[in-house]
Structure 1
Amino acid sequence: MTSQSFKGEVDPRGVTATWNVGEPVALAITMLEMLQPPDVDRLFNRLDHGAGGHKGRRNAAMTTGQTNDNLNHFAAWVNRYCDSHGRHDSIPAVNGRPFKLHTAQFRRTLAWFIARRPGGTIAGALQYRHHSIQVFEGYAGTSDSGFRAEVESEQALARGEHLLAVIDAHEHTCLAGPAAAEAARRLEEFGQRARFQGTVALDDRRLRRIMIRGDPAIYTSTYITCVHDPAKALCERARQAAFEGLGDHPQCQPLACRNVALTAANNDAWRREIDTLDQQLTRRPPLPPLLQDRLIRRKHQIEDFLATTQEPS
């Protein structure tokens, strides 16, 4: 999608910018273009048939309040359509009343995707045209928006759900690595806090509360399970209390850090890494000697690391 961007630009007329968007976004933009008259070049111009369409200048963008009104008018239309056509996929009521939509709610949806989808932060940076992930995280963390807190809350909830699944499957009893015993202890305590009448049954609100009060500070990733202890951490990220993303960031030193525990899935990932290195080392024509030496040393480091840990059964 190509348009004019004004954020962070010096030229008051804006500059041409391009966004990579998914199919749902492209379809939504097509619909917005169809709603506007041919001589209007704004997607969110006031609509003659919508909220605020007959107020003030015709060639003006919708306000937030008018957007909220249009959202709720649309939801009401959907429900009327479903009723008149015998459909059962209407927008459900909340506590017996129509659910009121407002634009701020969509920020929570964005936070959900950033927290729970691989590369979510990278996608956020691309969509906001930030030149680095750090800039996007800084934007998301501004005190005015509170958006960073929403993302972190969603990340903690997703992590809590995963850890409860690990406990429920008793996978925490067969960890390996230098931090295995500490991980098992923390997860056992976490499971006890989460249990109600012998079973783990939590709604999102209660799990968020438990994560705030008793977060076990365990972070899973493909290759390791990070059992955070700042006194033992080798990465600057952990020492600075930037917790989310631990175990899966460029500064992580998994083969040397004492905060590492290994699940069966982690061990499988390391085995696949060794297989990949073997394939690269046996390829023809052979790799340059310097690169080959680095790959051999990398393979030996992984093998030594796994040999010094007791693999999960």
Structure 2
Amino acid sequence: MELPELGARSYYSGWVGRAVAKRAGRFYYVSHPALQSVEVYRASTRQASIRRAQRAGSYERIPGLQVVEEVGRGRRVRWTESDGRLREGHANELTAAQRMRMFVRGEDGLEPAMVWLTETGMPMAYRSWTKTFERASDRCAAAGVRLYATPKMLRHSVAWFIYRQPGGRIALGLQYGHVGRTLAAAYGGRTKQDMLKVLDFERQLALADTLAEASDRLADGEGVSGPAAERYIDAAHEFDARYAGGFATRAQLRALMNNPRLQVYEDPDALLTCNHDPYKALCDPQRGRSTALRTPSFDRCHAACANISRTDTHIERAHQEVERLRGEIADGLNPAPLAKRLNQRVETLETIIHQHQNTRRIPRQAQP
């Protein structure tokens, strides 16, 4: 529905529906080689996973399955419900959950309407991309390669590439439509001055992304624990009330960065969120008496800090880390000092999990 058809152009434009975009529906731009790669995936890896699912009868067992009959002008979609009723709606209003139940008729039977599939042929949830990057990063670490990446970290790489293509300056300004053309140029630049602008803007975007993710977690009914749990919840609610549903301007992003109530930072390695109050930050020996440290120092993160909060997402990751460490301990290949440290890490994580389970609270509006 929203993937452009491959032709002979250098760039293609598509549209991301409002119901699945972070703030509002928007255009996106993709190069010919990139779209060509997607088509290769559709004809090879994707098709193989679909055949496996069809042979296993997986699609017929999906509850509430919807079969797309037509995508008409203006992105109007007509589909048949599992009870045979014919429905119609705009692609802008199709939620992520609904899209995962939508199928089209292929040569050999039903196929998912969504492009990206798991190895079993099932539609891939958008949140799974973070897990995909985490697993790839874990494989790099296991191979001794010091490389860690998340989907959000690709933003600058994409900008740098777009900027250097024919007509790239205009495409970049459109792709990052909520920033000015000068800042867009800086986003694709490499000079020291350019990079300073980029880093400032990246910090603002990272903060906005973290708060948006916090709002999503609370909306999904996740529990929160830790001494700063109340501040985490309040920050997510304030961000949602002020910024949800539209683009943030540069002035709004600067105001966001300067709002002391909204200083929320993720630390994936420590499995926590820092709700940064410089006067309580144990990572800062000056405790707010100096203006030099405006953000937390994660390499000096202290378990007793009053700025810590944790959500169910962090605890899920903690469980996964415990299982991984136990497997490493069980293989018996580590020297005794390293095995001891691994056991200590498991004990620490189990304490964190236990404390969260005993003290977690769910915001009122998320409770059933």
TM-score (norm. length: structure 2): 0.41
Q: Looking at CA atoms only, which structure, 1 or 2, has the larger radius of gyration?
A: 1
More strand by percentage:
2
